[in-house]
Amino acid sequence: MPGMVLGGRYQVQDKIGTGGMATVFRGHDEVLGRTVAVKTMLPQYATDPSFAARFKQEAQAAAALQSPYIVSVYDWGKDADTYYIVMEYLRGTDLKSGIRKHGALDCKKVAQIGSQIAQALSVAHKHDIIHRDIKPQNIMVQPDGNIKVMDFGIARAKNSHLTTDNSVLGTAHYVSPEQTQGKELGPTTDLYSLGIVMYEASTGQVPFQGDDAITVALKQVNEQPKPPSQLNPAVDPSLESIILKCMQKDPAARFQTADELYRTLRDYLAGRMQSVNSATALLPAAATTALDRTGATGATNALPAVDRTGRFRPQSATEQAADQEAERAHKKKRNIILGVVGALALIAVIIFAVTSMLGSSTTAKAVPNLLGYTQDEAVQKIEEEGFEVGSVNSKYDSSVAEGKVCDQDPAANLQMPEGSTVNIWVSKGAEPAEEVEVPDLTNKSAADAESALEAVGLVGKVGSEEESDDVGAGKVSSQDPKAGTTAKAGDTVTFHLSTGPSQVVVTNVVGDDESTATSRLKQAGFKVSVQSVSSSSVSKGTVVSTDPGVNTSADKGATITLYVSSGPESVSITDVTGWSYADAKAELEGAGFTVKLASGSSAEGIVTKQSATGSATAGTTITLTTQAASTDGTGADKNPTNGGGSDAGSGTNGTSNSTSANSSNG
């Protein structure tokens, strides 16, 4: 298969997965130039008409579903003997792998994932499509934290001829009791499976385990799950009650629509506990029919009792006996009431018959069907049929056009005495969605932005990435609609993630004066700081270098450091008077100065004068004046080498002459 081109445009690349009846490849759409996922039916099924019909139905059903939380189907077809479906290519990991790697998720994340799956199921159910195989393996968690529901491979439309096969098609750990028993399935079967997905996400394990699929399936029918908080104490009671309501054995005791479950999870995320408690109020336990391994049926156990926290606890034998006694009393009371009602009904019949025999003048007529009429038309119809117009009311009804009658009392075709009053309700159209304020998503991660939107009933969508000088990479830099504006609950808010600041080349300002360099860099979008450095080669006030260096790239808005020359460095001058010229010269040249001997001075003399004192810049010329060692007793050597002083000695001619302190006679 790799290397083939299907439908003249989809090049098949490497295999990325295999399912029960198909293989999935990474592919390339040569027309639109994008990566896609290509699902192809396994060869052994391609010649089977029933599997081909199922494959075709999957493609048609999935292609009709448009939701940010459902994998998109772009195309489908048949090329030679190969049936294929072209889908959105997803990056990320499936929820099952995530739970295996990280264990139980926190309650808010579980609710966020659950609410997104519920929104996906709502779209499918409105198209009369039941997924039938909701499980973590079919939930892809994308890099931005949002999910996509995948694989409608066993999904069925309610009106499909393929629904006659009600065999267990899902995975045993996630199937509903009615799916196990081969009963007719409705939207609540997907909600049961979603409840198990949230159970596993919040505890790290599935509620029912066994050695084989049959054992697990029987537990789905017969056993109550342990409350999630018993496996993970971090699960709070409100989320636990939502999960356990999804997992009720009786479909009528569960949430009845995916929208209802979504709204409850949204209220939970928003902290509206009163709404959650109201939505998860437990219904009376209802008996269901269970199957044993032989196929025999038997009554299942009643639901366990509930403690003050709203969590399930096992019933004791005493409590079970009390419940049974209460049930018997209830039935007895019901039978008495039914007997009284029956007697009253009999009396009414007798009265009606007697009245008829006495020739009552009141004629019974069928109430006309007024639905779909305008108010004026309905009033006219009521009067034409011999009835009286009662109250005219109005209410919201999304299924009936505004201005048309959407309800009536008495109901249409009911036999009523002529002249009876008929009340009508005129539709105001669909109820307007609640208006909410759009939150500020700036600097939030994609997951946090999604949570903030869900908390107020809005839907988040990740738009294109964009550069931002003010927002770090991976955070929200802009959104549409803007923060603070109003939107209707259910509206989509598109937010864009920052790739960080744009990169700008650092302008070459070396050799410019400080003012010019600062102006040029600011015009390029940088901030500027200045540091002084001494330089004997660059004039004072001129830029010596920059950091980062010139002609390199830096983030727009980054700070560029200018190193500006303060001129040559000033050096302290040592006082060398009284030193020998040779020592003085070595000292000053070592400090960076140039030494010059004054005219008429001897390099063998003692320094008596220097042209500069204090400090001067390196390289400055200092002139030294010297004087030969004194021979008249007035200029004794100040740098003796033999410890001698300025003592006068005896000349060889007997006269009293001063001699050098450095003389040979010491």
**Distances in whole angstroms, Cα of residue 655 to Cα of each of 553, 650, 652, 658, 664:** 88, 7, 8, 10, 18
For tokens 């002249």, name the residue: 419
Residues near 383 by beta carbon (within 8 Å), at least 6 away in sequence: 389
Nearest CA to 403 among 427, 424, 371? 427
Assigned token pair, 377: 């038309």
The whole-angstrom separation of Cα 588 and Cα 621 is 10
Burial string for 427-456 (b: 16+ CB within 10 Å, else e) reads beeeeeeeebebbebbebebeebbbbbbbb
Provide the 10 A C-beta neighbour count for residue 406: 24
Rg (the chain; Cα; Å): 47
- Give the whole-angstrom CA distance, residue 232 versus residue 234: 5
Count of Cβ atoms closer than 10 Å to residue 4 Cβ: 17
How far apart are alpha carbons 75 and 77 in whole angstroms?
7
Length of the chain: 666
498 - beta bridge partners?
Answer: 466
For 281, phi and psi rounded to 5 degrees?
-55, 125
User: CA–CA distance from 634 to each of 123, 576, 604, 648 (Å)?
Assistant: 117, 20, 18, 11
In whole angstroms, give the CA distance from residue 385 to residue 365: 8
Per DSSP, 363 falls in state P
- Is residue 417 within a helix (H) or strand (E), and if so which, with residue range? strand 415-417
Cα 281 to the chain's mean position, in Å?
A: 30
Is 585 annotated among the ligand-binding residues?
A: no
Q: Any idea which residue has 């400080």 for tokens?
A: 514
193, 139 Cβ separation under 8 angstroms: no
Residue 528, CA distances (Å) to 81, 554, 651 in order? 68, 13, 78
Integer angstrom CA distances of residue 531 from 481, 528, 534: 45, 10, 10
- Whether residue 225 has a cis bond before it, omega within 30° of 0: no
Nearest-CA neighbor of 106 among 295, 261, 16, 233? 233
Q: Could you say which of 14, 29, 75, 133 is catalytic?
A: 133
Q: Is 647 annotated in the active site?
A: no
For 165, counting Cβ atoms within 10 Å of its Cβ (0-12 exposed, 13-18 middle, 19+ buried), the class is: exposed
390 sits in which H/E element = strand 388-395
Report yes or no: 110 and 196 within 8 Å, Cβ to Cβ.
Answer: no
Number of Cβ atoms within 10 Å of the Cβ of 324:
11
C-alpha 208/C-alpha 86 separation (Å) is 36
Q: What are the residues facing 244 on neighbouring strands?
A: none
Q: Where are the beta strands (DSSP E) in 121-277?
A: 129-130, 139-141, 147-149, 156-157
- 7's torsion region: left (phi>0), alpha (psi -120 to 50) or beta? left
Catalytic residue numbers, as ranges: 133
- Going by the annotation, the residues of the binding site for ATP are 39
Annotated binding site: 39
